[in-house]
Structure formats: C-alpha cells, structure tokens
Amino acid sequence: NAGVTQTPKFRVLKTGQSMTLLCAQDMNHEYMYWYRQDPGMGLRLIHYSVGEGTTAKGEVPDGYNVSRLKKQNFLLGLESAAPSQTSVYFCASTIDYTYEQYFGPGTRLTVT
Amino acid sequence: KNQVEQSPQSLIILEGKNCTLQCNYTVSPFSNLRWYKQDTGRGPVSLTIMTFSENTKSNGRYTATLDADTKQSSLHITASQLSDSASYICVVSGGSYIPTFGRGTSLIVHP
C-alpha cells in the first residue's frame, strides 16, 4: 500500500498561472480532504469530498476548485494563482469521517 | 463555533525530560479526539484516538488523557527523545464531516 500520494512535491508558479495538484489513495477511502498549512495558522480545510462525484467547500475555498471523478483521486485546481496561495498543501483521506485521517506528504507551492 | 485551542504554542525541553501538551475544545456534539504528530516537512501522523468513554490511552512514551466533562485533553511525553521534536496537533470530530483542528504545539527537544 502506498497510502496517500501527492503530485507534485514542489512547484513554483508565476501569478496568474494555473495548475492542478493530484491526490491519490489506494485504501478505498470514501472521504478525502484538501488542506493548506501556513506558518502559525495550522491546517485549514479548502475543500472535501464524501464520496466519488461529490465535493464541498471547506473553510478557505476561494481561488480553488476540486474534482472527484474517481474514488481514489481528488484533484485540487488553481485557475489563476496568486501570491497568497503560496503554502504547503496536504491531502488526506479516511474511511469514515469520525476515523483518523491519513495524510499525504504535502506539496510545497510558491507563487511569485 | 467549534474551536480547538492548544497550549503552549511552543515548548523547548532537554532530552530525557517529560512534558505535557494541552488541548481545550468546544466542539459539540463530540465524537472523538485525536492527537497527531507532524515532523518537519511531512504530513501529520495519528498518535492516539479517544472516544467519549475513554479517559486515558497510551502509545509507547505518549499518553493522552481526556476529560469530556471539562472538554480538555492532554498529551504527556515521557523521557523525551530528539525524534520527538515535531508539531503536535489536537483534532476533534463531532457531528459533521469536518473535524476541527488545533493550531498545534511546536516541541523542540535539545540534547
């Protein structure tokens, strides 16, 4: 089992560029989450999904879009990157929303 | 509004010493409380999970306690090691799909 994987690990974007972060899990988990982590702010939820084909907004959804076309994948898109989106992005999955979440290794994104 | 407050924000201790991290929450209804360890540059990893009926749970040198009446939890680390240097995050699940995260306590263990 690879667990939760994230692609890419690092990325530098210019303001206005777009990109997609990929999260994949091989544990057959229903629930998947995208977080961003900034110094002193802790983990903040961007979007989440409770099953294939579903998505919902979290605490800080503005500027991001997501898709869950396949159960094992959860994509996070930035249509027009801004410097405020410089952060470390973590994906997580769980079999039940009351159970522990399994986190990926993170994607470090810098927007210049 | 559901909230999880952790203290202290940061802590420095010497190797071999014990320490206790605190977590206070106002999440309602309550389902469970988890402590995660996050090493620098890595994703969080679960240490313990406790439900309403559990008041103590251990994982090696880590012992978590829960007082559901006062809505407080603590994580006690015994005989600290350099590898304990990390951020420790308290997470509380309630009645929604979204757990509530604390901001974490940054622990540094010096030799």
Token code pair at residue A69: 């076309």
A1 pLDDT more than 80: no
A101 in reach of chain B (CB within 8 A): yes
pLDDT value of position B94: 86
Chain A residues closer than 8 Å to B32 by CB? 98
Residue numbers in A near B103 (CB within 8 A) = 40-42
Mean predicted confidence (pLDDT) in B50-55: 89
d(Cα B44, Cα A100) in Å, to the nearest integer?
11
Residue B9's φ and ψ, nearest 5 degrees, are -70, -35
User: How large is the average pLDDT for residues B34-40?
Assistant: 96
With cut-offs at 50, 70 and 90, classify the pLDDT of residue A41. Answer: confident
Nearest to B101 among A43, A97, A106 (CB): A43
Measured distance CA(A81)–CA(A40) in Å, rounded = 22
Q: How close does chain B come to A47, measured CA to CA in Å? A: 10
pLDDT tier for residue B3 given thresholds of 50, 70 and 90? very high
Please tell me if residue B89 touches chain A, with a CB cutoff of 8 Å: yes
What would the pLDDT profile of B24-35 be if each residue is shown by its tens digit?
999 889 999 999
Closest-CA distance of chain B to residue A75, Å: 18
Chain A CB contacts of B102 below 8 Å: 42
Is A28's pLDDT higher than 90?
yes
3-state helix, strand, coil in chain A (%, to 5): 5, 50, 45
Averaged pLDDT of chain B: 95
Q: For residue range B60-97, list pLDDT tens digits in order.
A: 999 999 999 999 999 999 999 999 999 999 999 987 88
Q: Which of residues 68-87 of B touch A (CB under 8 A)?
A: none
Cβ atoms A32, A11 nearer than 8 A? no
| pLDDT at site B1 | 84
Provide the 3-class DSSP secondary structure of residue A11.
Answer: strand
Per-residue pLDDT at A40: 81
